[in-house]
Structure 1
Amino acid sequence: MLSLRPSPELTPDEIERGLSNIIFDGLTTHAFATLTSGIFLIAFALELGASNVVIGLLAAIPPLAELVQIPAVSLIEKVRNRRLVTVITSLASRGLWIFVALIPFLLSPQAGIVCLVLLLIVYSCISSVKHCGWKSWMRDLIPEQILGMYFSRRMALSFAAAIVLSLGAGYFLDHWQNGGGGTAVTGYAVIFLVGSLIGLAGTYFLVRTPEPMMIIRHDVPLRRRLTAWYEDINFRNLIIFLALWSFAVNLAAPFLTVYLLKRLSLDITTIIVLSIVSQLTSILSLPLWGTIADRFSNKSVLKVAGPLFVLCFLALTFTNFPEPHFLTMPLLVIIHIIMGLSTAGVTLAAGNIGLKLAPKGSATSYLAGISIFTALAAGIAPIIGGFFVDHLAECELAWNLSWKSPGFAIIIPTFHLQHWDFFFVLAFVLGLYSVHRLIYVKEEGEIDEPIFIDSLIAYGKDMRNFSTAGGIRNIMRFPVNGMDIQSDNYALRCRPDLKLQKNRDGPVP
């Protein structure tokens, strides 16, 4: 384990190697998450006979387990080796999915559901410790000037890998069931096994990533440091926004796959294709969001991407109006395109704004504060949804326009809510309010809204010049060779567009 010790000071070459390895870590981590969560996990649970309450519980366990970050902060500061903690917890948590894959072969469906819940609890608690160390590690490793662009490239490559894996998994499931290979539930088990092996292999890149020495304030007790963010009014407002946003999204998002499978009667292959459409849009939009976040602010990105995302929840209510109709599939495609566009912006900006506003030396405790409250909100929301969704199955709220004349009558449905629609509407309202709370968050570099919108439109025009292959080639490149990380010109050499602006208009603000 001597090779996993942190370094007092990192050279530019070490940072370059670390940034490259974190890119590959992102690929394997996202591949693991794609094959062991989301559509495949929910479909697996439904095949075992899980109820809506169980689906809500499965969605609530991972965020609630983030509360383990409270004692994890003490562990990490005692060990003072975030890389060691991250590697060990990664191996343990990802290896657990081998046991999940064995459920259909060893247990009955009812016992399998109980075992799945228990294993997910253990996995999520171990992963929470990993997240606590990894976030603090990245905060000190990645230069702040390129934070937005770097993570946008990492996410874009990860989404691209997820698309390939999703298509491959969908094809495998069709062949497995139609070709006589076995039942659907055993097909999902094979997918979980492959995901676990990919995740285990990905820890190699974490081992090769250097870690800078932690800066710990010994004069302040841990309890005091865990609550230090509360005295920071700006960071406190950020936590309020993120908690409200997390509650709104997780009230409806965990049931989206159930809605598509049960309410709209779509098959798993169609849902995977819709997911791929969303991820492709995310890949194409990530360079846009990353550039805007670095040039303007993460807050500016959230102001645009946030409302777009929750608008998709409202649009879902029109896909069954009151039953699936000929416009249902076109609407779903449009919704998933907008959802992919906005998800990229929200995910990138929400993660980066926390990293940016957390002060160095206290990043672990500040980021743990974010995790605690967003975890509570994200955990409570799907539990509420799971308990109430069945009670709303027989409820309807309709508003129709009717016309009657001699020999002619027509009724036009203009507003119709039923079952999951109530959660989609409530998530939309709460999401809009959470975005409103952003006005109380101050971020260095934020600009006036009109200036940002004009620039966003200008960047949008440049999207016409993007090509899939060229975009991915640019994402793969990360110029760090021969640079002084502490110099003022570092960000300009990583971002040629800023250098051109500096030469043309003077110093970059």
Structure 2
Amino acid sequence: MNEPTTKLPSGIAHAYWFQAFNAISWQTCTGSPLILFARALGASATALGVLVGLAPALTIMQIPASRYAADYGYKRVMLTGWSARVGVLGLLCLLPLGARVLPHDAVVTLLLAVMFSFCLLRGLATCAWMPWMTSIVPERVRGLYLSRDRTFINLASVIALFASGGLMTEHASMTGFALVFFLGFAGGAVSLAFLRRIPEPLSTTPRAAPAETADWRKILRDGPFLRLLAFSAVVQLSLSAHATFVLVFLREEVGFGDGTILWIGAGANLFGMLGLHMLGRHADRIGSRPYLGLVLAWWAVAIPAWFLIAIGAFESAGKIAIGLMIMGGYVGGCYELALTRLLMNTVASRPGPARYFALYAVVVSIIIATVPVAWGIGLDALRNFHAQAFGFQWNRYAILFAAESLSLFGIFLVLLRVRESRGESPAYMVQQIFVGMPSRGISYLMQMFR
């Protein structure tokens, strides 16, 4: 009787492969290559902020779509939206070639239009993914499922970024971008084949429909859910601009080339896989909060280090930046797995989980959409800012990293309020962060090099 609740469902491997090929599409067409392409066209920091903000902003479409997702069918919603989304990527492949004959400002405008359409379709479809996976994956193995899921994603991202770096190094700038975007288009097309083979949701009867009309007022009074939502919101308010403008900082201030930046990103994803391997079943046994505490401890080191690089406190800025990027990939993998697992377990037993997931995604995504735009406007305004203070030269990126560093205290306060129904005590959390996990990491690395 208990066996189904402790094993992953048959056919779940198709979900892993879908995520892998979708990650190739996402990394090449919406990740670092897209930012570098826009910058190569001369896009301003404000335009970059808008470009980065489109995907999270249009996640708001999950709210109206979630009302009909169960009736229409989670699988059908994903297939329809993802098929149209892949078609739009075909247009993206043409833009680098169009940049040879059109003014770059016009290409930036077309880029924003194409990505708006892409992100709109994505926003409508993604309301179905998390309820679908929560339905078919039992609670006791969700950490295991997520670790494998993220491992496939990270491995595919490594391959995509290494390939993109090679294409950008071997080909002229715009030709290289066209080939990178075509790689993303091909990955998206292949992902559809695996999406069709993922098992159907367990709750497919008409009786599931009333759950999808759960009262919004009840959701807004759900204490554990709201505390988790508050934590995610504060994290994104503090740090959602970081990844975008670190890329620009590496390119313009540290002096890294586009191909080098993509290769560093690949290395970061490779280390992210190490973090996912370490979590695995440990997250199901220990809980998510210990890993969120570990992530916050790393941010307390890494973000001030970026500030010190920006003011010129280190002579070997390039080497330190590479180390921060690589370790950031490891910690980022831990953060995404722990947070997603905690969200799934918090929402799974509620009526109408699609609305919980939609509300969570929309609130967090609106913040992700607006913060980079606001910082982009601010960094454009501070373009010529230079000041001498405490013996160091301050620039606009120093202001960004200083503000992020100060915001970490707010993240700590909201993390203290997050609760987990199945987790260890705070004392055990501290022991795992500073003793247990480092020892397991050393043991794993020793086994790799035997």
TM-score normalised to the size of structure 2? 0.91
Correspondence list, 1:282-361, <5 A? 282-309=272-299, 311-322=301-312, 326-360=315-349, 361=351
Q: CA deviation at 1:465?
A: 3.4
Deviations 1:45-89 (A, max 9, x none): 11222111100101111110000001111231331x100110111
Residue 220 (structure 1) shift: 7.1
Structure 2 partner of 1:206: 195
2:227 is equivalent to residue 237 of structure 1: yes
Residue matched to 2:131: 136
After TM superposition, list the pairs within 5 Å mapping 1:137-176 onto structure 2.
137-176=132-171
1:35 counterpart = 2:28: yes
Give the TM-score normalised by structure 1: 0.81
Partners in 1 of 2:103 and 2:360 — Cα distance? 39
Q: Percent identity?
A: 19
Identify the residue that residue 103 of structure 2 maps to in structure 1. Answer: 108
If each structure's helix is expressed as a fraction of its own residues, which one has the higher value?
2
2:17 corresponds to 1:24: yes
1:192-223 CA distances to partner (integer Å, 9 max, x unpaired)? 1121111111111111111222476666783x
CA distance in 2, matches of 1:190, 1:108: 21
Relative to structure 2, which stretch is displaced further, 450-459 or 434-443? 450-459
CA distance in 1, matches of 2:273, 2:211: 43
User: How far apart, in 2, do the equivalents of 1:123 and 1:303 lie?
Assistant: 35
Letter in 1 for 2:54: I
The verdict on how the C-alpha distance between 1:217 and 1:417 changes in structure 2, with shifts beyond 3 A counting, is farther
Match of 1:380 in 2: 370
Match of 1:188 among 174, 177, 180: 177
Q: Aligned pair 1:52/2:45, yes or no?
A: yes
* Superposed counterparts of 1:419-438, under 5 Å: 419-438=396-415
Give the Cα separation in 2 of the matches to 1:147 and 1:468: 28
CA distance in 1, matches of 2:24, 2:187: 7
The answer to whether the Cα contact below 8 Å between 2:254 and 2:318 also exists between their aligned partners in 1 is no
Match of 1:364 among 351, 354, 361: 354
Q: Which amino acid aligns with 1:317?
A: F
Displacement of 1:396 in angstroms is 4.2
Distance change (3 Å), C-alpha of 1:273 and 1:344: same
Matched letter for residue 444 of structure 2: F
Cα distance between partner residues in 2 of 1:465 and 1:221: 46
Distance 1:435 1:129 in 2: 33
3-state SS of paired residue (2:423): coil
Classify the secondary structure of the residue corresponding to 2:194: helix
Q: Residue 340 and residue 310 in structure 1: after superposition, are their counterparts in 2 closer, same or farther (change >3 A)?
A: farther
Is 1:92 the equivalent of 2:84?
Answer: yes
Q: Is the 8 A contact 2:212 2:353 kept in 1?
A: no
Partner amino acid, structure 2, of 1:463: G
Matched, 1:440 2:417: yes
Say whether the 8 Å CA contact 1:48–1:185 is kept in structure 2: no
Deviation at 1:266, TM superposition (A): 1.2
Name the CA distance, whole Å, in 2 between partners of 1:84 and 1:273.
36
Supply the distance in 2 between the matched residues of 1:229 and 1:470 (Cα, whole angstroms).
46
Q: Helix, strand or coil: the match of 1:25?
A: helix
Tell which has more relative contact order, 1 or 2 (C-alpha 8 A, sep 6+).
Answer: 2
CA distance in 2, matches of 1:420, 1:85: 41
Q: Distance in 1 between matches of 2:362 and 2:354?
A: 12
Q: Is the 8 A contact 1:69 1:132 kept in 2?
A: yes
Contact 1:149 1:294 in 2 (8 A): yes
Question: What is the Cα deviation at residue 318 of structure 1?
Answer: 1.9
Shift of 1:137: 0.2
Matched-pair contact (CA < 8 Å) for 2:55–2:369? yes
Distance 2:401 2:123 in 1: 28
* Residue in structure 2 matching 1:460, options 438, 441, 449: 438
- 2:120 corresponds to 1:125: yes
User: Structure 2 regions of 5+ residues with no counterpart?
Assistant: none
Counterpart CA distance in 2 for 1:460 and 1:172 is: 37
Cα 1:220–1:160 change in 2 (3 A) is closer
SS of 2:215's partner is helix
1:339-392 deviation per Cα after TM superposition (whole angstroms, max 9, x unaligned): 122101111111111111003342101111111110111111011011110222
Distance between the aligned counterparts of 1:42 and 1:469, measured in 2? 38
Superposition RMSD in Å? 2.5
For 1:55 and 1:132, how far apart are their aligned partners in 2? 26
Cα 1:167–1:294, aligned 2, differ >3 Å: closer, same or farther? same
Q: Give the Å deviation of 1:276.
A: 2.4
Asked if the contact 1:309–1:343 (Cα under 8 Å) also holds between the matched residues in 2, the reply is no
For 1:277-296, what per-residue CA distance to the aligned partner results, in whole angstroms no more than 9, with x for missing partners? 32222111212233432121
How much has 1:134 moved relative to structure 2? 0.7
What code does the residue aligned with 1:185 have?
A: M
The total of aligned residue pairs comes to 440
Give me the whole-angstrom Cα distance separating, in 2, the residues matched to 1:90 and 1:449. 42
Q: Secondary structure, in 3 states, of the residue corresponding to 1:50?
A: coil
Secondary structure of the 2:394 match is strand
The answer to whether the 8 A contact 1:289-1:344 is kept is no
Aligned partners of 1:32 and 1:208: how far apart in 2? Answer: 19
- SS of match in other structure, 1:466: helix
Q: 1:202 to 1:136 in 2, by over 3 A?
A: same
Distance in 2 separating the partners of 1:233 and 1:206? 35
Give the 3-state SS of the residue equivalent to 1:209 in structure 2. coil
Q: What SS does the aligned partner of 2:312 have?
A: coil
Q: Aligned to 1:442, what secondary structure does the other structure show? A: coil
Q: How many Å separate the matches in 1 of 2:113 and 2:216?
A: 29
Match of 1:249 in 2: 239
